[in-house]
Copies of this chain bind each other. A is one copy, B any other.
Amino acid sequence: MVSVGTVILMLPIATEAPGSASFIEALFTATSAVCIVGLIVVSTPDYWSTFGEVVIMGLFQVGGFGIMTMSSLLVVLVSRRMNLRSRLTTAAETKSLGLGDVRRVVTGVAKLSITFEVTVMVILTTRLIVGHDESFGRALYLGTFHAVSAFNNAGFSLYNDSLEGFVNDPLVLLPIAIAAICGGIGFPVLLEMRRQFWKPRGWSLHTKLTVSMTVLLLVLGSAFIMASEWRNDETLGPLSLAGKFLNGFFHGAMPRSTGFNSLDVEQMTEATWLGTDVLMFIGAGSAGTGGGIKVTTFALLFFVIYSELRGEPHVNIFDRQISSRVQRQALTVALLTVALVVIPTVFILFVTDLFSLDRVLFEVISAACTVGLSTGITADLPAGIQGLLVVLMFVGRLGPITLGTALALRQRTRLYELPEGRPIIG
């Protein structure tokens, strides 16, 4: 996928100007699109021709679709194996994951994607014609591109300033935010919510956790962004009260791996960057188009600590017990992601002193958690470090899913048990 995309983007026809894109430009853009990250080294509208733009849209549509399908199938695989081993105890839980065969997953994902993308496309196209004086053809093109980009959490935009031009237009920002949140919440949850939206008591633990954490993070994230940017003359400052809430919400939602921006990220305060770092690290829901360690992983770690502080023998969430294996999986995913962020950050600061920690950390988390927000340094990085970001985007995209699945499927048994050891903790 990435290599095909790279080759196509290197064709002379893909660029606006005569001549063709360099290898690293094409590779970076193709990886960013396929892994639905959204970081860019060249301007999407200026550098690429319409042909190039359509190729990029194709790449992130196929990338998003592929990732949602593949991770959902892996979930089915895991739940099947689970059933064989412990059918009784987990039967209640796996009903949300009994999606049937490959075809059903593929058609399910396709139906959902099309529904969301077409709806948002229609809204955006209409709005661009009515409110922004675009011709029908141009509005349709822009609407389609951004609708697909939003649901797949790609974050690619056909405007050089992303969505900053729509800072006061809720009819553009809200549909995009909602599509992005729904795409990021994950296929298993969407499926279950479609089936029984009005019976939250019957939801599976996974759905309950994902939905409640998503709402909580949106509220807290938006409140934080609003508080830290409220008086910033370059961002929220000049906006009306409604505008402040709209864009605070938008930027509270975008770190959940979407990566559009309606405010200038480079002008935000360091506190906002760091808060956004935390939100990007947590990311979105499992088996969706979002990245990060996933909200369920984060919630689980939170409940592990809570149970430990209360001295509970088990970790219980929503009247379900979490096995110590699942706790270990969550810990492993979270700490390996920490390593995936810290090691490249130290490495980049080590080899170049062009940029400060806050910007480098932001960029690395944005790449590894496939978000695509940027403080504006990506294009200025040396090609070697852009190459490192390509690797990060790839590992960040496939790593946690593959890892989570592999961990869940893998199970060794030991024929003997060792005596217990108790090192001192803390």
Contacts and interface: CB of A to CB of B under 8 A. Distances in A.
Interface stretch (A51-59, A86-94, A115-123): A86-94
B329 A274 contact: no
Interface string A311-340: 111111111111111111111110110000
Contact of A356 (B186, B270, B401): B270
A77 to B, nearest CB: 12
A424 B321 contact: no
B319 A418 contact: yes
A386 B65 CA distance: 51
A296 interface: yes
Contacts of A401: 426
B329 A297 contact: no
A304 B329 contact: no
Contacts of A336: 305
A324 B314 CA distance: 10
A321 B420 contact: yes
Contact of A310 (B307, B349, B412): B412
A80 interface: no
A360 to B, nearest CB: 8
Contact of A425 (B312, B346, B404): B404
A331 B92 CA distance: 29
Interface string A40-74: 00000000000000000000000000000000000
Given A309-B407, A357-B358, A320 B421 contact: yes
Interface string A259-277: 0000000000111011100
Contacts of A326: 422-423, 425
A353 interface: yes
A419 interface: yes
Contacts of A417: 314, 321
Interface string A205-222: 110011000000000000
Nearest to A92: B419
Given A304-B332, A412-B311, A422 B206 contact: yes
Interface in A322-374: 322-333, 335-336, 342, 345-346, 349-350, 353, 356-358, 361
For A206, A210, A274, A405, which residue has the most chain B Cβ atoms within 10 angstroms?
A: A274
Interface stretch (A17-25, A131-139, A141-149, A286-294): A286-294
Given A353-B270, A426-B333, A205 B311 contact: no
A316 B293 CA distance: 26
B420 A93 contact: yes
B349 A274 contact: yes
Contact of A426 (B305, B307, B400, B414): B400
A176 B20 CA distance: 61
B297 A426 contact: yes
A353 B296 contact: no
Interface of A: 75, 78-79, 82, 86, 89-90, 92-94, 186, 188, 204-206, 209-210, 227-228, 269-271, 273-275, 278, 286-287, 293-294, 296-297, 299-301, 304-305, 307-333, 335-336, 342, 345-346, 349-350, 353, 356-358, 361, 400-401, 403-405, 407-408, 410-414, 417-426
11 contacts: A90-B422, A205-B421, A206-B424, A227-B350, A269-B350, A270-B353, A305-B335, A309-B407, A314-B418, A322-B423, A404-B424
Nearest first, the 5 closest Cβ-Cβ pairs linking A and B are A404-B426, A320-B421, A311-B410, A205-B421, A400-B426
